[in-house]
Amino acid sequence: MPSHDSLPTFRFALEESPARVMPGGTAREATIKQLPISTGLAGVSMTLKPGAIRELHWHAIAAEWAYVIRGNVRTTIVGPGGTCETNDFGSGDVWYFPRGHGHAIACLGSEECHFLLIFDNGAFSEFGTFSSTDWVGHIDADVLGRCLGVAPADLKGLAHEELYIVQGRPLPAVIEPNRGSELRPAPQTHRYPFMAQPPWETFPGGRQWRVTVDEFPISTTMSASLFELEPGAIREPHWHPHANEWQYVLEGTVRVGLFGSGGRARVEQLNAGDVGYAPRGYGHYIENCGDKMCKILVAFDSGQYQEISLSTWLSANPAGMVADNFQVPDALVDRWPKKRVFVADGNS
């Protein structure tokens, strides 16, 4: 075997990493700093206690796609033209906030909530957001007083530094009206009940859910897929011509194989709470190597979903050419799949 440069790690143990801990919640992040290969996407695992608020903020360089793992969440968002929306989310629901739109996230109900935030820019740090407290706290009190129509002395109690997560009062079960008198409803909803949909496709070895810009029109820059795989089942080798892939293991244990050309290949095991990454165009597969069902969330930095599977590719060529290409007997190629496999079950 010739020697080759090896691929860098594509795994990061997000849930075992140090958290930013606030009285109202926690945040852990995976950016290019923690996982240098992940240039296209970054992610955050956040928990909020009941009534806690991830404060009003925006992101200058990334859109935000989120998946609720457990608990209930209420968000508010404002977009250009005075458009706004308030939404409630439960486990399996998804939101999308376009880059630069102002939003806030609060924990609804009496249980702590846990959600994943995924950003379409690997250099984006959740700890570098444009926060309302940070901003307003750095505006001259005289200017702020005139803009808010109060005396500067009345603003003495305002925070001067970013609060990030604040502990607020319990949220009412029913969505309250906002303070505005001239706002308009957002033309497109920011909420999609992802896991309330039937699976996109079912296989003997598992099931796949998908959400793209077609189902969730506001989500123009991101899409996602969620796999449930039986023990031994494999999401077959494939690649995505159009997008980078950011993976998060929700349940179980998987083995991911990544191929980066030039003889560079690497296999890593991802446990629940770990993040994985497959750069655009890199070949990869996901195998459930545990003894129970696994659940893995896969996000893309494109609104579309595209994939090319190995079985599809091999079937798109004449049998003799495939045999010659791999230097194997025709009889072996005869036994290979003649149509897309997508998920190979553990018994094949």
Q: Which stretch binds Mn ion (CB under 5 A): 15-23, 56-64, 249-257, 325-333?
A: 56-64
Give the shortest CB-39-to-Mn ion separation in angstroms.
17
Catalytic residue among 11, 28, 59, 101: 59
85 binds Mn ion (CB under 5 A): no
Output DSSP code: residue 321. Answer: H
Angstrom CA distances, 277 to 7, 136, 254, 263, stand at: 12, 37, 13, 19
What are φ and ψ of residue 235, in 5° steps?
-70, 110
Q: Which stretch binds Mn ion (CB under 5 A): 34-42, 163-171, 185-193, 241-249?
A: 241-249
Question: Alpha-carbon distance 340 to 347, whole Å?
Answer: 17
Active-site annotation holds for 59: yes
Catalytic residue among 11, 28, 54, 207: 54
The residue (of 44 and 333) whose beta carbon lies closer to Mn ion is 44
Number of residues that make up the chain: 348
Question: Alpha-carbon distance 36 to 312, whole Å?
Answer: 31
- Looking up tokens 């309302």 gives 132
Burial class (CB in 10 A: 0-12, 13-18, 19+), 29: buried
Catalytic residue among 29, 126, 228, 236: 126
Q: Which stretch binds Mn ion (CB under 5 A): 106-114, 243-251, 321-329, 334-342?
A: 243-251
Give the shortest CB-174-to-Mn ion separation in angstroms.
24
**Which amino acid makes up residue 13?**
A
Site for Mn ion in 265-284 (CB under 5 A): none
Size of the site for Mn ion (CB under 5 A): 2
Active-site annotation holds for 64: yes
Active-site annotation holds for 85: no
DSSP annotation string for 265-301: EEEEEEETT-EEEE-TT-EEEEEE-SSS-EEEEEEES
Give the shortest CB-306-to-Mn ion separation in angstroms.
10
The residue (of 64 and 85) whose beta carbon lies closer to Mn ion is 64
The residue (of 155 and 269) whose beta carbon lies closer to Mn ion is 269
Of 24, 38, 62, 64, the one binding Mn ion by CB under 5 A: 64
Catalytic residue among 74, 103, 190, 238: 103
Burial class (CB in 10 A: 0-12, 13-18, 19+), 179: exposed
Give the shortest CB-1-to-Mn ion separation in angstroms.
27
Question: Alpha-carbon distance 336 to 22, whole Å?
Answer: 55
Q: Which stretch binds Mn ion (CB under 5 A): 10-18, 40-48, 180-188, 237-245?
A: 237-245
What are φ and ψ of residue 276, in 5° steps?
-125, 170
Q: Which stretch binds Mn ion (CB under 5 A): 58-66, 135-143, 170-178, 324-332?
A: 58-66
* Strands of the sheet with 20-22, listed across from one edge: 20-22, 25-30, 42-48, 113-119, 64-70, 94-97, 191-192
Give the shortest CB-12-to-Mn ion separation in angstroms.
17
Active-site annotation holds for 57: yes
Catalytic residue among 11, 28, 55, 64: 64
Residues identified as active-site: 54, 57, 59, 64, 103, 126
Q: Where do contacts with Mn ion occur on this chain (CB under 5 A)?
A: 64, 245
